[in-house]
Amino acid sequence: MKSIPPEERLILALDVPTKEDALNIVARLGGYVRFFKIGLQLFMASHFYMVDWLGDKGFNVFLDLKLYDIPNTVIQALSIISQHPVSLTTLHAERSILKAGVEATQGKPGILAVTVLTSMDPGDFEAEHGKSVEKAVIDRTKIAIETGCAGVIASGKEAPIIRRNCGKDFLIVTPGIRPKFSEEKDDQKRTVTAFDAIQNGADYIVVGRPILKAPDPKKVVKELVQEIEDAMKE
């Protein structure tokens, strides 16, 4: 397992509507979290303000925009993203897009290929695409490896098959994390605990609502980091 400290494996998703909300969260949790994700909602509200602010404060930034367009358009978007302090960013797993993106960025930021969204129900996915989620994830991960991506976005449920089929020197970033104590029902279908995600081979976990909606967010962060640490020891 890559030598990343437990506390740096937790990426907090700043899935909030305004930069003021995001700044308040970082003020409360910045002493416990070093890696933050900015998705479409916050990016539409703040553009690069929060990206640059987090970078200036020494935090790692995962810009999750899931770009999907013709290669030239993606290249132009990435040329702008690469001017900002972004460690990781996402593209959909189509060969021409990934190839163009990796060649344009040269690893800065690292490109993560989106395999299958964790909100997708396996039965619905197979009915629509004619293949299982597992088969799609492996096919798309192999494309990501062949095109030189830094890693993939994948559920913790598929992390083991990625490791078995695609090796260890490749990042797996796993959303859809729910703490052991969580009973929340939402739009995520293929969820796992932080412990299971790391045990299954994930390098990073992405967590939003279980932290942001908690009565005591710091407590949840500490418990998640402890889950990660426990998984790394086994």
Residue (of 218, 136, 120, 108) closest to 175 by Cα position: 120
Contact assessment for residue 8 and residue 26, using Cβ atoms and an 8 Å cutoff: no
Say how far residue 205 (Cα) sits from the centre of its chain: 7
Per the DSSP assignment, residues forming a β-bridge with 205 are 10, 174
**233: buried, middle or exposed (CB in 10 Å: 19+, 13-18, 0-12)?**
exposed
User: Is residue 66 annotated as part of the catalytic site, yes or no?
Assistant: yes
> CA neighbours within 13 Å on the CB side: how many for 85?
15
Residue with tokens 């998703």: 13
> Which of 66, 99, 142, 218 is labelled catalytic?
66
Residue with tokens 């020494």: 58
Strands 171-174 and 88-92: unpaired
- What are the structure tokens assigned to 209, written together? 């609502």
Active site residues: 66
